[in-house]
A and B are shown apart, each in its own frame.
Chain A
Amino acid sequence: MALLEVKDLKTSFFTAAGEVKAVNGVSFSLDRHKVLGIVGESGSGKSVTAYSIMQILDANGRIVGGSIKLDGQELVGAGEKVMKTVRGNKISIIFQDPMTSLNPTYTIGHQLIEAITLHTDRDKKQAWDRAVELLKLVNVNEPEKRMKQYPFELSGGMRQRVMIAMALSCEPDILIADEPTTALDVTIQAGILELMKSLQDQLGMAIIMITHDLGVVAQLCDEIIVMYAGSICERGTAEDIFYDPHHSYTKGLLKSIPTVDMDDKKLEPITGTPIDLLNMPKGCPFAPRCDDAMHICINQTCDYVQINEHHYSACWMNVKEMMEEQKGGASNE
């Protein structure tokens, strides 16, 4: 059984301007010890998917449909009491900006100990030892000294390491990382990514990595989900997505980033502007920006087409190709 099973998840925000369907029918599963990458641009619903799993949505946000099963236990509608045993214990999350996620008025040690004593029955002394141990685990130098320091005394990379230590304090089964390195410099980012990979090998948790950076997912992830306007366009292994993309959006995304050896080749950007979530089109959300859009794309959403065992894509072009292949195959016989 999959560790986490998300089925047809729908999350909306109810604003003065109307209902914003931030996540609109997302399904995926996550196995133990796997790293799942969720990529997409701003407004694609990647973070809201994560916040829905943790149920830490803003006050005007609500899960309006679908199910989230953790180890077989249903979390949608489970109530705050159950969620308190899940958050931190079974699923932890780290955020983009390590400065705003740490409390500036308490020492690092205070905040780590608080997390540990809240979730385990260690006393303060034991919690202190555990906190130092955790800081060592995430390669923070001079952990005893850091315990007595405040967040502003640490560098950005160091703060993110502290956040990871805090997230790991109860040995969760799943670590959700929401753009954990976006605010950091490349050399620091590389260090954090390496740390996450080695911690995963060591502790065996599953990671959901949410990012807009295709380079980061290429480096870290076993499986990748590509999101656009609240739904999943394509899902597959890293190799599937990068070397054999099937959805027009994934293809467009890969063509619009510079690669190492492209010399003076021009980038091929996706035309148009990002979608307005208040005015979603009837059919495929990407159709208005898609160069290959057909009549059917505008009127009807596409179901997932299975490309291979782990590779799915929701694009009418794939359906068309498959039909042509079948026709071609039939006429050859």
Chain B
Amino acid sequence: MSEERETILRVEHLKEYFDISTGFFSSKPLKAVDDVSFEIKKGETLGLVGESGCGKTTVGRTILHLYQPTGGKVFFEGKEVKTKEDLLELRRKATMVFQDPYSSLNPRMTVSDIIGEPLDIHKMYKDKKERQERILELMGHVGLNSEHAARYAHEFSGGQRQRIGIARALALNPSFIVCDEPVSALDVSIQAQVINMFDELQDKLGLTYLFIAHDLLVVKHISDRIAVMYLGKMVELAGADEIYHHPLHPYTKSLISAVPVPDPKIARANKRIALSGDIPSPLNAPSGCPFRTRCQYATEKCAESMPEFKEVASGHFVACHRTEEING
């Protein structure tokens, strides 16, 4: 990654709290995303991993303002997203591909209407012919035949549906796409087709991705850098190879040791770093470092304050009080 590349997206202290009712008149904030800061360079893929409930999907949705952020700032192409006009522009330049290709496509719309809907909303064409041409071009980008245009989503397999979803995300010529577990629902052989397509589209159209997934090997393959989240906080961020081979945060270490490696010799020799207990409920998150209740290195200090998310080596950020001691 070159240093000169400009930053396309910067997120500062992003917070997203949901109110959960705990009684007739009482409610409690669920801190789905709590003080997350990072930036993505143009043309880069940032992988976002973590276990269910860690807030990775919420980060993606909050960036696009599908949820109104509770706090913090989102800068897109150098400009803070504040007014309604900013938001409209953001929605045109930053789009999303969803996890479930079955529920994210309207069963009562034809493929060409699904892909054309964003064009309609943003009035991106002069006449019907131009609209149709653009739709066919988009279908070509994702490897769909033009004769598929008049069909309905249910006539397609999972992999093809995901292609339709990707074509829809590309419709507005975005520069940034949030990919929320786009291959998790697909079979292995189809998954590889879609991953390669993401790669090719990035080269061809100069896209930037925020790639959210729980499959670490897939994320490592597609990403330049990877961020790890735990209970609403970002705990580590580094280059893809760096984080996989030299993780610094105890949670990342354990997560990576748990990845089932498709190689019998490596898999059997692998020593897993087991975690005790379950993820605490985000409604009752522990004080200080969220991971301390399951961390073998936790001390009193970890309960008192949340460690700062700081750069310990070039481009390697980690939020842990004891990074130096643990990694000697």
Q: Say yes or no: is A100 at the interface (Cβ < 8 Å to chain B).
A: no
For the complex formed, measure the closest distance between the CB of A184 and the CB atoms of chain B, giving whole angstroms: 9
- A219 near B221 with CB under 8 A, answer no
- B272 near A256 with CB under 8 A, answer no
Q: Say yes or no: is B109 at the interface (Cβ < 8 Å to chain A).
A: no
- B214 near A185 with CB under 8 A, answer yes
Q: Say yes or no: is A28 at the interface (Cβ < 8 Å to chain B).
A: no
For the complex formed, measure the closest distance between the CB of A210 and the CB atoms of chain B, giving whole angstroms: 15
Q: Say yes or no: is B106 at the interface (Cβ < 8 Å to chain A).
A: no
- A194 near B191 with CB under 8 A, answer no
Which residues of chain B come closer than 8 Å to A213, judged between CB atoms? Answer: 260
Number of B residues near A (Cβ < 8 Å) is 42
Number of A residues near B (Cβ < 8 Å) is 44
Q: Say yes or no: is B193 at the interface (Cβ < 8 Å to chain A).
A: yes
- B272 near A212 with CB under 8 A, answer no
- B262 near A254 with CB under 8 A, answer yes
Q: Say yes or no: is A118 at the interface (Cβ < 8 Å to chain B).
A: no
- A219 near B267 with CB under 8 A, answer yes
Which residues of chain B come closer than 8 Å to A215, judged between CB atoms? Answer: 217, 259-262, 267
Q: Say yes or no: is B195 at the interface (Cβ < 8 Å to chain A).
A: yes
Which residues 241-293 of A have a CB within 8 angstroms of B?
242-243, 252-260, 262-263, 266-271, 273-274
Q: Mark B257-296, 1 if CB is under 8 A from A, else 0.
A: 1111111101110101011001100000000000000000
- A268 near B260 with CB under 8 A, answer no
Q: Say yes or no: is B160 at the interface (Cβ < 8 Å to chain A).
A: yes
Q: Say yes or no: is A155 at the interface (Cβ < 8 Å to chain B).
A: yes
Q: Say yes or no: is A42 at the interface (Cβ < 8 Å to chain B).
A: yes
Q: Say yes or no: is A307 at the interface (Cβ < 8 Å to chain B).
A: no
- B199 near A266 with CB under 8 A, answer yes
Q: Name the residue of chain A whose CB is nearest to the CB of B294.
A: A187
- A212 near B278 with CB under 8 A, answer no
Q: Name the residue of chain A whose CB is nearest to the CB of B260.
A: A215
Task: Label chain B's interface by main secondary structure.
Answer: helix
- B190 near A274 with CB under 8 A, answer yes
For the complex formed, measure the closest distance between the CB of B266 and the CB atoms of chain A, giving whole angstroms: 7
Which residues of chain A come closer than 8 Å to B258, judged between CB atoms? Answer: 186-187, 189-190
Which residues 209-224 of B have a CB within 8 angstroms of A?
214, 216-218, 220-221
For the complex formed, measure the closest distance between the CB of A3 and the CB atoms of chain B, giving whole angstroms: 23
- A256 near B188 with CB under 8 A, answer yes
Q: Say yes or no: is B192 at the interface (Cβ < 8 Å to chain A).
A: yes
Which residues of chain B come closer than 8 Å to A155, judged between CB atoms? Answer: 278-279
Q: Name the residue of chain B whose CB is nearest to the CB of A185.
A: B51
Q: Say yes or no: is B152 at the interface (Cβ < 8 Å to chain A).
A: no
Q: Name the residue of chain B whose CB is nearest to the CB of A211.
A: B260
Which residues of chain B come closer than 8 Å to A259, judged between CB atoms? Answer: 217, 261-263
CA A242 to CA B265, docked complex, whole Å = 10
Q: Say yes or no: is A115 at the interface (Cβ < 8 Å to chain B).
A: no
- B187 near A42 with CB under 8 A, answer yes
- A187 near B275 with CB under 8 A, answer yes
Q: Say yes or no: is B196 at the interface (Cβ < 8 Å to chain A).
A: yes
CA A78 to CA B241, docked complex, whole Å = 56
Q: Say yes or no: is A317 at the interface (Cβ < 8 Å to chain B).
A: no
Partner of A274, one of B187, B263, B278: B187
- B263 near A218 with CB under 8 A, answer yes
Q: Mark A39-67, 1 if CB is under 8 A from B, else 0.
A: 00110000000000000000000000000
A-B pairs, 10 with minimum CB distance? A215-B260, A269-B192, A256-B192, A258-B221, A190-B258, A270-B189, A185-B51, A41-B187, A214-B262, A219-B267
What residues make up the interface of A, taking CB atoms closer than 8 Å to B? Answer: 41-42, 155, 157-158, 185-191, 193-194, 212-216, 218-219, 238-239, 242-243, 252-260, 262-263, 266-271, 273-274
